[in-house]
Structure 1
Amino acid sequence: MRHLLGYLALCTVVLGPLPVGAHKAKDSGPVTAHHGGQALAVGPYHLELVAADGDLTLYVTDHSDNAIPTHGARAKATIQHGTEKARTQVELEPSGENTLKGAGTFTINPDTGIIVFLRMPEQDAHAARFTPRQATNKTPGTEGTQHRHK
């Protein structure tokens, strides 16, 4: 009995960290946006949202940036500006190999936040929160002028 407990303890110590290593560092770092939008790692997918006034396009790839077919997928986007309570919902429909598209009456501002709910066929649903883009007010030649050492 003592040997069995020792064996189980050894297995726990040796095999315990393996699930942590299953998600490689490549998957947990920043996600590259290939279409000019914002990209996030969500579950087994990389989702890139390209948002323009009245038009949303969602690209779905795996963690190796291989296209995931979206035929049969369902998605919905909720659009909100800043802290306004008013929200706009847009249904995204499969369009192309790995894209979902939706259109509506809305504008995209620097303070626009978009939450996308995605359900791929026979898969769990996933949600992604695309936050407002940070404004960059840099003018040529002024970069670093606010940084001073004492």
Structure 2
Amino acid sequence: MLIQRFLAAGALLALLPICAIDARAHDGNGHNGGRVADAGPYHIELVTKDRTVEVYVFDAKEKAVSPAGFKGTAILVVGGKPARVVLTPAEARLTGQAEVALGTNPKGVVQITGPDGAAVSGKFN
């Protein structure tokens, strides 16, 4: 019994570096140079440049998901005020234009609704 507990504890310790690597992957840059967040079954990448917002959707295996049938909203904080941006499909991403310049790393939330009507969101700090 003691040996089984020891082996189980060792197995958990062995997995810790793998979990840490996975968590760091979302802190760094995504495929398109943006920040990545979990959003339900998806990973979403937020890229902002001036007033343009682009959101790329990936599945759990980091494979790009077509934005066809998706819609979304980005609520990003700029100068202490929320900037709401409607996102629509365009080529391989969802995109929209803010009324003000956003900078490269605004904080906020991106909500997407899939073709099935299920809504999920990702938080960007």
Normalised-by-shorter TM-score class: 0.7 to 0.9
Runs of 4+ in 1 over 2 A off after TM superposition: 28-32, 108-112
Larger Rg: 1
Give 1:34's match in structure 2, choosing from 28, 31, 34: 31
Give 2:120's match in structure 1, choosing from 88, 113, 126: 126
Shift of 1:114: 2.3
Q: Distance in 1 between matches of 2:35 and 2:89?
A: 19
RMSD of Structure 2 on Structure 1 (CA): 2.5
- Percent pairwise identity: 26
Relative to total residues, which structure has the larger strand share, 1 or 2?
Answer: 2
1:113 aligns with 2:110: no
1:108-138 CA-partner distances (Å, limit 9, x unpaired) = 247731211111111421111111xxxxxxx
Shift of 1:62: 0.5
Aligned residue in 2 for 1:73: 70
1:51 aligns with 2:45: no
1:95 aligns with 2:67: no
Q: TM-score, normalised by structure 1?
A: 0.61
Q: Which has the higher contact order (CA 8 A, sep 6+)?
A: 2
Relative to total residues, which structure has the larger helix share, 1 or 2?
Answer: 2
Q: TM-score, normalised by structure 2?
A: 0.72
Structure 2: tracts of 5 or more residues without a match? 1-17
